[in-house]
Amino acid sequence: MTAASPPLLERYRDLIAGEGESFPISLGEGGTPLIRARRLGGEIGIEHLYLKFEGANPTGSFKDRGMVLAVNRALGAGALAVVCASTGNTSASAAAYAAAAGLPCHVILPAGKVARGKLAQALAAGARLIMVDGNFDAALTAVRRLGEEGLAVVVNSINPDRLTGQQTAAFEIVDALGTAPDALALPVGNAGNITAYWRGFRAYADAGRTPDGKLPRMLGFQAEGAAPIVRGEPIEAPETVATAIRIGNPASWQWAVEARDQSGGLIEAVSDEEILDAQRLIVRLEGVFCEPASAAGVAGVRRLAAERRIGPGETVVCVLTGHGLKDPDAVQAEEGSLTPIPPDLGAIRDAMQLYVRRE
């Protein structure tokens, strides 16, 4: 960390920290790029489209913004261990920050439903993995009880420090654009992030740090098979290719509804096919590789623009919450492209011609 870029929690200290509070742990989180997406914007019909690429965080997802605060405070409070339930990214982040803090980390995961990259991260950092034969919601229910018993500090977003830290993404967007966008789109799983962004935009405006005091409409998108907020009731057995948001009973449900209603926004569902199409479009038009869940915001914005529910002149920021490398299995190879051929020039040239013909 250079002097020119102080750690995230120091940069926004006045809005986050208690008096004299110190934050010894940092992995260089935050400060992620806000990318002007001209080609993607052209494709979907929005001139001022931006991607906030949270995959550029140290463990490859937005979770690091809140985890850094939660783990610093757990350490300061003398915690003996941290614990979380996770669809993957929270566990990868918790494992890394707990390692840096020298704290044991227990992660409770839905068996068979965590993307390979995320599992590797938690394993590599020495987290204690506990697989359950159930979904995220069941794991979080258990974690709530463990927290009440005082066995370990819970670092899920039911820990308020997580949402406080995640507000910094909204601060950065306002700093980069000079004001808030007209609309902010993002995936909704446990509903912590939409809550944190809305609180962040409001807090920044209240502090006089958003020059014109503008607030965005919040556009949240759930996967069709895991859309409890859209349907208005918990989903017993949520299913989606976007495993990060495979959640049937979000912890921050009421606050997500509040963010939607106070901002004049919406929370809608997108299909797995729309999600995977958007993921492919984002990386093929902009070179930014995000995981499936992260593409839900773009999938939703694409539909809203097609239906003229977003105007072509509006400034829209889509949050890409996690890196594509988290979930390599979600990427489909084109037919024949992984079949080996002899390593000679003729065969390779023929194979290249095949691509030219395809294009």
| Closer CB to ligand AN7, 164 or 294, in the complex | 294
Q: Is 222 in the site for ligand AN7 (CB under 6 A)?
A: no
Q: How far apart are CA 333 and CA 115, in angstroms?
A: 17
Stretch binding ligand AN7 (CB under 6 A), from 68-76, 83-91, 210-218, 336-344: 83-91
| Closer CB to ligand AN7, 45 or 331, in the complex | 331
Which element (helix H / strand E) includes 170? helix 168-177
Site string for ligand AN7, 90-109 (x = CB under 6 A): x-------------------
Identify residues 263-302 at the interface with ligand AN7 (CB under 6 A): 291, 293-294
| Closer CB to ligand AN7, 189 or 265, in the complex | 189
Q: Is 59 in the site for ligand AN7 (CB under 6 A)?
A: no
| Closer CB to ligand AN7, 89 or 159, in the complex | 89
Which residue in the set 180, 322, 324, 330 belongs to the binding site for ligand AN7 (CB under 6 A)?
322
Sheet with 217-223, edge to edge strand ranges: 34-36, 48-53, 315-320, 183-187, 217-223, 266-270
Taking the alpha carbons of 51, 56, 57, 63 in that order, is the dihedral positive or negative?
positive
As measured in angstroms, the least distance from the Cβ of 22 to ligand AN7 is: 27
Contacts of 104 (CB under 8 A, 6+ apart): 80, 81, 82, 98, 128, 152
Which of 262, 255, 265 lies closest to 163, judged by CA? 255
As measured in angstroms, the least distance from the Cβ of 141 to ligand AN7 is: 14
| Closer CB to ligand AN7, 33 or 45, in the complex | 33
CA distances from 94 to 111, 147, 165 (A): 18, 15, 14
Parallel/antiparallel/unpaired status of strands 82-85 and 105-110? parallel
Site string for ligand AN7, 228-267 (x = CB under 6 A): ----------------xx----------------------
As measured in angstroms, the least distance from the Cβ of 257 to ligand AN7 is: 13
One-letter amino acid of 261: D
| Closer CB to ligand AN7, 233 or 350, in the complex | 233
Parallel/antiparallel/unpaired status of strands 183-187 and 315-320? parallel
89 CB burial (10 A radius; 0-12, 13-18, 19+) = buried
Q: Is 193 in the site for ligand AN7 (CB under 6 A)?
A: yes
Q: Is 187 in the site for ligand AN7 (CB under 6 A)?
A: yes
| Closer CB to ligand AN7, 192 or 228, in the complex | 192
Contacts of 341 (CB under 8 A, 6+ apart): 347, 348, 351
Q: Is 191 in the site for ligand AN7 (CB under 6 A)?
A: yes
72 CB burial (10 A radius; 0-12, 13-18, 19+) = buried
Q: Is 82 in the site for ligand AN7 (CB under 6 A)?
A: no
Q: Which residues bind ligand AN7 (CB under 6 A)?
A: 61, 86-90, 187-193, 244-245, 291, 293-294, 321-322
